Structure 1
Amino acid sequence: MHKIRFGILICLHLFVSCLALVFVSELYPQYHVNFRWDVLPHAIAVVAAYSLVSVLFVYSEFSFGYFIGFPFFSLIGGYLWLNCFSEFHYDHRLAGISASASAVTLFLPALFLKSPLKQLWTPTHATFNRILDSILLLAGATLVAGAAYNFDLAQLLRLITLDVDIYLARDTLKFPKLLDYLLRITASALLPFVFACFVEYRKAGRAAAALGLLFLFYPITLSKVALFSAGWIGLIALSARFIEARLVAILSLLIPAAIGVLLIILSKLEILQRPETASYFALINFRMMTFPSLAMDYYNEFFSKNELTLFCQISFLKTLATCPYHEPLGVAIYKAFGIGGSFNASLFATEGIASVGPWLAPLTAFVGGLVLALGNRVSAGLPPRLVLTSAAVLPQIFLNVPLTVTLVTHGVLVLFLLWYITPPPLKQE
């Protein structure tokens, strides 16, 4: 019964996601999102076949790879649905097979390679606590330095409406390169990690300080991830105290998606007014959940007619080889389609479709799975709640940012290192 429940929830999530895409096609047709009744049986068959991949999540135990892998499962399911209705003219059958194969080649190592790495150095309890306190101090200093370049209090006061278009303002922000790295790494990896550790150590004051610092990243960076991170991380930590970690990973996507769909249905029934539902659906169901899948449709179309990057979009490789693209891929995609903003995308679109094309994309996805497996190995023995909480903001980053950028710029490798050196009693050998 336990496994059946997980399977039902995963399939329910796929159903809710596809229903949300039907509503997206009504509300945002300008984004090339389509729906046709005559194609519906085919789309249902494709997604139903893909749902068999959920068996991997039903039978695997919780790990970092599980937590990141399930949003990837949702991303590919959404793309397969969009692919059935797409108005673009690339080889849709090849793209669909490639996407499905990429999902499987990523999930196999990400879900099942978990053997722990032997710690070469383990700090004492006192040393580890000093490391945590030092990270708090570093975060505070980073915030002060960032505020010296930008602190938009007006955006902070108006954030409740969720109607503020921050993208143009955010694109004008200029931080020194080192400070830019510190801001991203601190918000994505360092503060979530210290908060998770302080929760496990039952140090409420320091945990609250970590969340407070995290919230202050929004008026500096104007990042919507930063805006919601503090509340989201706290909610994940609380949920993981009472609910199994795998269930938290599934519900963390299913519940927000279902709320958006329910709001649209209520507005269609005229129980709620459209303005009351539009902001939530636009931010959660459209921007956060549809865009990663939609990016694969755009990237497949663009790179079916333009040169592949052969990974030249990676910064340090641009200095070693001639690259056909002298601007970020997200900007190139935006210029080609004229909508969607800077269309950054996940490893499936960038390291896969853009870099090597659909034929070889499953190989790059397999490498991505090995990276997630490394996260499993360095976090092996840690309490599942600590892994969930310290990685709480990473699913959205992995869905919207290339793997290489996620590892370095957003501090995933730093988080791996912190997990690796975490001492007992938090980490059990």
Structure 2
Amino acid sequence: MSLLSTMTINETFQTHSPTRRQMQMNDRAVQLVPGFGWPQARLAVLAYACVMVCAASLYFVTVVNSFPGVISSDQSRLPAAILNVAAFSPVVLLFAIGRLSFGYLVGLYFYIMVLGYLWLIEFSLLDYDHRLALASIVLSALAFLAPALFITAPVRQAVVLPARAFHMMPSVILIASATIIGIGSLYNLKLVDLNEMYKYRAEVALPAYLRYAVWIFSSALLPFAFACFVVSKRFLQAGVALLLMLLFYPIILTKTTLFAPAWLLFLALISKLVEARKATILSFFLPVLIGVTCALLYNAGLIPLKPGMVYFGIVNNRMIAIPSLALEVYNNYFSGHPLTHFCQINIVKLVAACPYDEPIWAVMAKAYELGAFNASLFATEGIASVGHVFAPVSALICGLIIALGNRLSSGLPPRFVLLSTGILPQVLLNVPLSTALLTNGVGLLFLLWYVAPRSAFDQVAAPTAAPAER
């Protein structure tokens, strides 16, 4: 090709191709507000879609009168419920601008829980100060989300595991898990369906050390190992981690251990297809959307009652309605009974008088006959411990604790953080934060994040990046 031809082609390319300055100007042109461009706008649309499908799910909960005596099915209250959700919905935009972190994942699930309560409160049949409770829960949500979403700065690692030791750790977790399953099966081993699970779970009696080990490994350590295996592409070992997680079900008989393997596999698949923040929102949106679709198809007479409503009850009720209903129940109970002042925490009970001799979940079970009502930090560390007025302060402190997890995991791959915490949002929706930190191993997970060598993940990513560099 001649020099003249080459110059002509270059001139043509320069004439019709945007310069770097023009591209920068175009990027600024699509910015809706500073720091909020089309990527954030697309994320905001997805988040709003999640809000809408959750509102539809809550509508079916009230229509079918799922919780008689607690929630009304009177649809004349529907406009007020819609107004509450609409007024609180702009808060979801925070998830369009926040970075993926432990607090982002937990915060989204708590946001939906509060949204559900704002819907259900308008259908409430229980007697307490609803306006004060509404103001308290909104302020508590904002106080929690501010640090949980936006405090993500890393901390200096004073202790770092050698990369070799870190890569061996997931295999050690598998061996330890298998050992615990073997010991646990000597105390309890029952394969029962969901209908009989609660009956036999009351009979489970494990030694304290074994009970703690089961919860810590099933909630925190095995998901951590699974995340390590997936990120390093050791898929056979990842499958073994899921199998071991499932084998905890006959020992402790909980829905979390039964469905956790499928849930983590689901998170691994969607986080492979889309970036971590979209995967987080889709992890709530897609299962709830399937439940809403089942309800619509049943109402249209296209599917029978049992399969559609069983899915709706297990997924939609468990993910939205029951955690939100716990706020309703705790608001009612502690409006007329003494506050706990954190005495539900065993250490506090040792040094301070407690008005309750039983665990709070047992107190709720007797008072409302809705089963064992464990609840989130908003209900336990908030409403039950300090009441409506100081609940936002408690939520702020809890948000700072979650933010510590953000800081300790800063620098780790977003997908790894998402998978290693995949079970914890479901845990935190149903147990106090103090319980999750100790009994469910969240505090131990924080420590593992802190000592994890960031260079180990760079080595994993290097082979993938090499072809692009060439």
Q: Normalising by structure 2, report the TM-score.
A: 0.87
- Is the Cα–Cα contact under 8 Å of residues 326 and 375 in structure 2 kept in the other structure? yes
**1:211-222 alignment to 2 at 5 Å?**
211-222=242-253
Report the counterpart of residue 22 of structure 2 in structure 1: none
Report the counterpart of residue 23 of structure 1 in structure 2: 60
Report the counterpart of residue 13 of structure 1 in structure 2: 50
Whole-angstrom distance in 1 between the partners of 2:419 and 2:326: 27
Report the counterpart of residue 215 of structure 2 in structure 1: 184
**1:147-158 alignment to 2 at 5 Å?**
147-153=185-191, 155=192
Give the Å deviation of 1:64: 0.9
- Is the Cα–Cα contact under 8 Å of residues 107 and 369 in structure 1 kept in the other structure? yes
CA 1:353–1:265: 2 relative to 1, 3 Å: same
Report the counterpart of residue 357 of structure 2 in structure 1: 326
Cα shift readout 1:63-88 (whole Å, capped 9, x = no counterpart): 11001100000000000111112111
Report the counterpart of residue 252 of structure 1 in structure 2: 283
Q: Does 1:100 align with 2:131?
A: no
Whole-angstrom distance in 2 between the partners of 1:5 and 1:27: 35
1:291 to 322, 327, 332: 322
Report the counterpart of residue 414 of structure 1 in structure 2: 444
Give the Å deviation of 1:358: 0.7
Whole-angstrom distance in 1 between the partners of 2:302 and 2:239: 38
Find the residue that maps to 2:196 and give its secondary structure: coil
Whole-angstrom distance in 1 between the partners of 2:222 and 2:40: 34
Report the counterpart of residue 43 of structure 1 in structure 2: 81
Whole-angstrom distance in 1 between the partners of 2:315 and 2:385: 29
Which is further off, 347-356 or 41-50?
Answer: 41-50
Cα shift readout 1:378-423 (whole Å, capped 9, x = no counterpart): 1111111111111111110010000100110000011111111111
- Is the Cα–Cα contact under 8 Å of residues 6 and 58 in structure 1 kept in the other structure? yes
1:200 partner amino acid: V
Report the counterpart of residue 6 of structure 2 in structure 1: none
Find the residue that maps to 1:306 and give its secondary structure: coil
Whole-angstrom distance in 1 between the partners of 2:388 and 2:202: 31
Find the residue that maps to 2:99 and give its secondary structure: coil
Q: Does 1:128 align with 2:128?
A: no
Whole-angstrom distance in 2 between the partners of 1:283 and 1:383: 31
Give the Å deviation of 1:60: 0.9
2:414 to 384, 399, 405: 384
1:113 to 129, 145, 151: 151
Any gaps of 5 or more consecutive residues in structure 1? none
Whole-angstrom distance in 2 between the partners of 1:427 and 1:412: 22
Any gaps of 5 or more consecutive residues in structure 2? 1-37, 459-470
1:85 partner amino acid: F
Q: How many equivalent pairs are there?
A: 420
1:362 to 385, 388, 392: 392
1:74 to 95, 112, 116: 112
- Using the aligned pairs only, state the percent identity: 43
Give the Å deviation of 1:30: 2.0
1:126 partner amino acid: R
- Is the Cα–Cα contact under 8 Å of residues 379 and 419 in structure 1 kept in the other structure? yes
Larger Rg: 2
Q: Does 1:137 align with 2:159?
A: no
Report the counterpart of residue 341 of structure 1 in structure 2: 371
**1:267-278 alignment to 2 at 5 Å?**
267-278=298-309
- Is the Cα–Cα contact under 8 Å of residues 24 and 33 in structure 1 kept in the other structure? no
Find the residue that maps to 1:6 and give its secondary structure: helix
CA 1:35–1:5: 2 relative to 1, 3 Å: farther
1:14 partner amino acid: V
1:2 partner amino acid: P
Whole-angstrom distance in 1 between the partners of 2:163 and 2:97: 35
Q: CA RMSD in A?
A: 1.4
Cα shift readout 1:140-195 (whole Å, capped 9, x = no counterpart): 11111111101113x2xxx4xx5x23112112211000110000000001111011
Report the counterpart of residue 20 of structure 2 in structure 1: none
Give the Å deviation of 1:56: 1.4
Cα shift readout 1:90-135 (whole Å, capped 9, x = no counterpart): 1111100110000000000000001111111112221212322222
1:63 partner amino acid: S
Report the counterpart of residue 61 of structure 1 in structure 2: 99
Give the Å deviation of 1:46: 1.4
Whole-angstrom distance in 1 between the partners of 2:221 and 2:296: 40
Q: Does 1:210 align with 2:241?
A: yes
Which is further off, 413-422 or 346-355?
Answer: 413-422
Which is further off, 128-137 or 413-422?
Answer: 128-137
1:139 partner amino acid: S
Cα shift readout 1:211-266 (whole Å, capped 9, x = no counterpart): 11111111111111001111211221121112111111111111111111110110
- Is the Cα–Cα contact under 8 Å of residues 65 and 71 in structure 2 kept in the other structure? no
Whole-angstrom distance in 1 between the partners of 2:386 and 2:67: 30
1:130 partner amino acid: M
Which is further off, 7-16 or 373-382?
Answer: 7-16
- Is the Cα–Cα contact under 8 Å of residues 200 and 426 in structure 1 kept in the other structure? no
Report the counterpart of residue 201 of structure 2 in structure 1: 170
Give the Å deviation of 1:31: 5.6
